[in-house]
Structure formats: C-alpha cells, structure tokens
C-alpha cells in the first residue's frame, strides 16, 4: 500500500454522531475519505448518498453487509451502532477483511471485547477505538502536564461528564441495546481521562448510583452514577456521569499547582487553563484528526495509540464500577495485563 493513497471508509450506522460529526469530518481528512454507507433505514441511505455522492454499489443494509468484503473501495469500516451491535459488526467487518474503527464502548462486556480481539488476530486486520480526545490538542496538553509532572505529582482528579437526554426515549436508556446508562457512555470519558492524565492504572473503585428522579425514563438503566478510582499511593479520581445533569469538566490538582478543562469532553469549544496561563490551541476537527491518524497507521504499518486492548481495558473498569455500585463496596480492579497502555 502506498503512503499517498487515501483509504476509503464505510460508515456503519447513520445516527446523529455519524451524520453530524463523522461524515462531515471526512470532508476535511487528508488520508481517508467516505467510500460507503451502511444503514437499516433505506431513506437514510437515499438521503446521504445524494448529499455525499455515494454510488448505489457502495450502499449496504445490515442484511447484505457481508458483501462489503468484495468492495475494493472500502478499506476501513467504522462501527457507529448501538452498543449491543458493536461486537457483531466488528467481527463481521474483520472477517470481510476490512480494518475496523469502533465507537465506545468497544462492546457490552469484556468477554465480547476478547471475542473481537480474537477475530482481529485471526484475520490480521487493524483495529482502533474511536477515542477522539487522544487527538485533541487541549486533552493532549493535559496528558503532558500530568504525565510529565509539570506541576509535580498529580494528587487529585475530578471528572464530570453529563448531559440531559431530555424527554425523548432513545436506545441509550434501553438496557438490551445500551448495556447500561451513562456509565456506558460518558463514564468512558472519565475512565479514559483518569488514566491518560496520570499515566497510571486504577487499582480499586467505589461507586454509588444516583437517586432516580424519573422512574419512567430510567426503569432499565441508571440515571446517574458517581465513582471514585483509587491509584497507587494517595492519588484518586472522583467521577460523575448522568443523563439528567449538565456537566463537562476535568480538573487536576498536583503537588505544586493545578490545571483544568471546562468544557473538557466536547467536540469543539474546549477551554483550558493552568495556574499560570490560559491554553490556546485554536480549533481542530477531532474526528478528522482521529480518522487520519488511523489511516496513516495502516499505511505506514504503525501501531495506533488507541488499540483494541484499550477498549478491553476500559470495559474491565466499567464492569468493576458496576460491581462496586451493586455491592455498595470498594472493589479491586485487576489490570496487570494493560500496564503498557497507561502512558500516552
């Protein structure tokens, strides 16, 4: 494969994130481009094929998805489906010989993650998590400040990521499709940040479900959840995610100073400050940077900074958080196999 080739991406699932963020971002990418669309809704395929100039031969439904194996225009398949469908379509894409990007969480549980990884190994395709914030300059600066101990060792982290879903009932509050509530969504950002801010892995967690204020909407999944990650020494990360609050903040207290982002996890408009100065990295398209990076990793045969092992690691932590909340107790997190993934 030549390094100057632009790789074709098939977007699987044409929901809000795919159509308002990923597909528009592919207009700005340099190393990859939109090549195919996959949806169970014919009207969506018709709408977006016209808008983005995709020929019918590169349109797929979930029933004929496996035919993508013979589509030479597609190099990468990006899974943007409800959580319950991640494992199936990651595996089908890999068996079709296509490289895979998967949105968070990687799967419904660690066992499904391991199934995906087994097929990835068998087929030899490349895999990346859709962890866009690893390519955001503000979050990368927070990684540098924390991991390089610019203000001394990090002592305490506060991570808040919540959005009010509103009155409309979505698949995100359907346990069969989502696997859980905000922990399976915004909680992943908190887990990610706690690790990439420090370069360390948590050893234990305490968690507590938030009181339910809307029993009709949240009859299957948690409305909110607070959890505290413990690391070696006295370092902790206090986290909260909710579907009825509005919060978006990353705050770090170190031995000799502090630094924070607010908002921290958004697609744009992130703002950062340290005890000394404001951060100013301008505006970037996180999704374009993320997809271009993976395309270059494939073309140059380099490892991605957000591999399948990271998706599995985060799924193991998610399970521990739920266990701690269910037991109302502090539970250990066994992450020895992931030590090499802690430093970005």
Task: Locate the domains of the chain by residue range.
Answer: 7-131, 133-282+307-341
Q: What is the mean pLDDT of residues 302-320?
A: 98
Separation of first and last alpha carbons in the chain = 27
| Active-site choice (89, 189, 209, 322) | 189
What class does CATH assign to 133-282+307-341?
alpha beta
Average pLDDT over residues 175-199: 99
Per-residue pLDDT, averaged over 92-120, amounts to 99
Active-site residue among 98, 104, 200, 299? Answer: 104
- At residue 294, the pLDDT reads 99
Q: What is the side-by-side strand order in the sheet with 204-209?
A: 272-274, 257-261, 247-254, 154-162, 236-242, 224-230, 204-209, 331-332
> 343 pLDDT band (50/70/90 cuts)?
low
Q: Above 90 in pLDDT, residue 292?
A: yes
CATH no. of 7-131: 3.40.50.720
Phi/psi of residue 16, nearest 5 degrees: -60, -45
Decide if 104 is catalytic. Answer: yes
State yes or no: is 267 an active-site residue.
no
Rounded average pLDDT over 71-89: 99
For the full predicted model, state whether its pTM sits above 0.85: yes
- Kindly state the DSSP code that residue 210 receives in the 8-state scheme: P
Domains 7-131 and 133-282+307-341 share a fold: no
């Amino acid at each position: 494969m030549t390094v100057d080739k632009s790789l074709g991406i098939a977007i699987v699932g044409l929901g809000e994130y795919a159509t308002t963020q990923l597909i528009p971002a592919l207009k700005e990418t340099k190393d990859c481009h939109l090549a195919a669309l996959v949806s169970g809704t014919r009207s969506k395929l018709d709408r977006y094929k016209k808008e983005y100039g995709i020929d019918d031969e590169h349109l797929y439904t979930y029933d004929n998805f496996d035919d993508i194996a013979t589509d030479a225009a597609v190099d990468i398949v990006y899974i943007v489906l409800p959580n319950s469908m991640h494992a199936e379509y990651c595996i089908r894409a890999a068996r079709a010989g296509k490289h895979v990007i998967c949105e968070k969480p990687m799967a419904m549980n660690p066992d499904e993650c391991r199934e995906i990884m087994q097929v990835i190994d068998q087929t030899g395709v490349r895999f990346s998590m859709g962890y866009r914030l690893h390519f955001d300059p503000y979050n990368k600066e927070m990684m540098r400040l924390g991991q390089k101990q610019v203000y001394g060792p990090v002592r305490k982290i506060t991570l808040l990521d919540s959005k009010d879903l509103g009155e409309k009932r979505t698949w995100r509050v359907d346990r069969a499709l989502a696997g859980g509530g905000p922990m399976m969504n915004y909680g992943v950002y908190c887990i990610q940040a706690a690790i990439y801010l420090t370069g360390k892995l948590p050893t234990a967690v305490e968690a507590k479900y938030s009181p339910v204020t809307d029993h009709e909407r949240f009859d299957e999944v948690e409305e909110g959840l607070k959890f505290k990650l413990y690391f070696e020494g006295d370092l902790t990360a206090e986290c909260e995610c909710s579907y009825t609050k509005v919060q978006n903040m990353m705050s770090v207290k170190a031995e000799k100073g502090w630094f924070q982002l607010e908002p921290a996890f958004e697609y744009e408009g992130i703002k950062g400050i340290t005890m000394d100065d404001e951060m100013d990295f301008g505006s970037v398209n996180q999704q374009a940077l993320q997809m271009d990076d993976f395309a270059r990793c494939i073309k140059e045969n380099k490892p991605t900074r957000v591999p399948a092992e990271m998706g599995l690691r985060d799924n193991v932590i998610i399970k521990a958080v739920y266990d701690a909340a269910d037991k109302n107790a502090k539970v250990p997190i066994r992450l020895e196999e992931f030590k090499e993934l802690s430093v970005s």
